[in-house]
Amino acid sequence: MITCKEFILDFLADYLDATLSPEVVAELEHHLASCPPCLAYLNTYKRTRELVGQTVPAEMPAEMKTILRKFLREQLTKEMS
């Protein structure tokens, strides 16, 4: 099972780049189907990438970092409670 944290930190960029194996993609899509916050985060991330162009800089825009931190905090709180 993939957790929110793994999805965001380990798989999101590769998922959008389509460099993952079909098995992993299936797992991610299963997670997305049952996890609206991750889906929302994915959409935000995709939009940001479109704004900055095809080549994504290694450095995340400051706004994305803020969203990511807030998101992870909320998700981790939820998972622990």
Contact residues toward Zn ion (CB under 5 A) are 4, 35, 38
Which of 4, 12 has the CB closer to Zn ion? 4
Least distance to Zn ion from the beta carbon of 32, Å?
7
Q: Which residues contact 39 (CB under 8 A, 6 or more apart)?
A: 32
Least distance to Zn ion from the beta carbon of 47, Å?
18
- Enter the tokens of residue 17: 């780049």
Helix, strand, coil content of the chain in percent (nearest 5): 75, 0, 25
Residue with tokens 């797992």: 27
**Widest CA span of the chain, in angstroms?**
39
Which of 12, 38 has the CB closer to Zn ion? 38
Which of 16, 35 has the CB closer to Zn ion? 35
Least distance to Zn ion from the beta carbon of 39, Å?
8
